[in-house]
């Protein structure tokens, strides 16, 4: 890599040019794990992820380059935007799992659509019906209980992701978990009183 400003050689991992100190654009094809300087794997220590995010934010944030020239400001904006995207995506286990599947060439959303999961679906339709009845009858306790049930199942499901990845489970298994999680989301969303609107 060559520095855009002074044309010196820049090592591929270095964020700034060792010679002139100018911020360098991200390496082409850099994934979100690399944007945070983390290994590409499911098991991440949340505190490690947060620490990396803070450290890199201090390095890339546009506020650090308010007095820099236009090109360097642009690079800071791009890198910081990308960093924030990485942080948002990877800090949540499900989004991290989805992203890993996509990196491996799978499309969990498309797979979810063709997934055959009739028993689960049947069960969910039943829960939805119970929810609809409870809401129609104004039975707040029943609504809350259904929401709580979905929350517990979701937590259990998220707990399974780590071991599945560690065991090298087939991607269909993971996609199925992610698809199911969305059903729980939708129940949880419908089971809480809607947030106060402004």
Does 63 contact other proteins by CB under 8 A? yes
> In the structure encoding, which two tokens stand for residue 16, read together?
């700034």
Contact code string over 113-152 relative to other proteins, x by CB under 8 A: x-x-x---x-------------------------------
Does 10 contact other proteins by CB under 8 A? no
For 105-138, b where at least 16 C-beta lie within 10 A, e where not — what string? Answer: ebebeebbeebeeeeeeeebeebeebbeebeeee
Considering the complex, state which of residue 43 and residue 92 has its C-beta at the smaller distance from other proteins: 92
User: How far out from the chain centre does Cα 54 lie?
Assistant: 17
From CA 192, how far away is CA 134, in angstroms rounded?
12
Contact code string over 21-50 relative to other proteins, x by CB under 8 A: -----------------------------x
Considering the complex, state which of residue 12 and residue 195 has its C-beta at the smaller distance from other proteins: 195
Angle of helix 118-136 versus helix 171-191 axis, rounded to 10 = 10
Return the range that interacts with other proteins (CB under 8 A); candidates 20-28, 34-42, 53-61, 146-154. 53-61
From CA 190, how far away is CA 186, in angstroms rounded?
6
Altogether, the residues listed in the chain come to a count of: 198
Residues in contact with other proteins by CB under 8 A are 50-51, 54-55, 57-58, 61-68, 77, 80-81, 84-85, 87-88, 109-110, 112-113, 115, 117, 121, 179, 182-183, 185-186, 195-198
């Amino acid at each position: 890599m060559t520095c855009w400003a002074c044309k010196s050689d820049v090592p591929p991992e270095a964020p700034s040019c060792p010679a002139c100190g100018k911020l360098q654009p991200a390496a082409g094809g850099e994934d979100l794990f690399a944007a945070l300087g983390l290994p590409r794997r499911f098991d991440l220590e949340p505190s490690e992820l947060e620490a990396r995010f803070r450290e890199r934010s201090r390095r890339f944030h546009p506020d650090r380059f308010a007095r820099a020239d236009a090109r360097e400001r642009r690079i800071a904006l791009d890198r910081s935007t990308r960093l924030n995207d990485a942080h948002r995506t990877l800090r949540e286990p499900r989004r991290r799992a989805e992203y890993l599947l996509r990196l491996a060439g799978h499309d969990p959303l498309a797979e979810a659509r063709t997934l055959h999961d009739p028993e689960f679906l049947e069960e969910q339709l039943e829960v939805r019906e119970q929810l609809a009845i409870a809401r129609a009858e104004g039975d707040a306790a029943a609504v809350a209980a259904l929401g709580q049930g979905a929350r517990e199942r979701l937590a259990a499901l998220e707990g399974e992701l780590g071991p599945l990845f560690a065991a090298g489970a087939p991607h269909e298994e993971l996609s199925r978990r992610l698809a199911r999680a969305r059903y729980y989301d939708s129940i949880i969303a419908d089971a809480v009183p809607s947030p106060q609107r402004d």
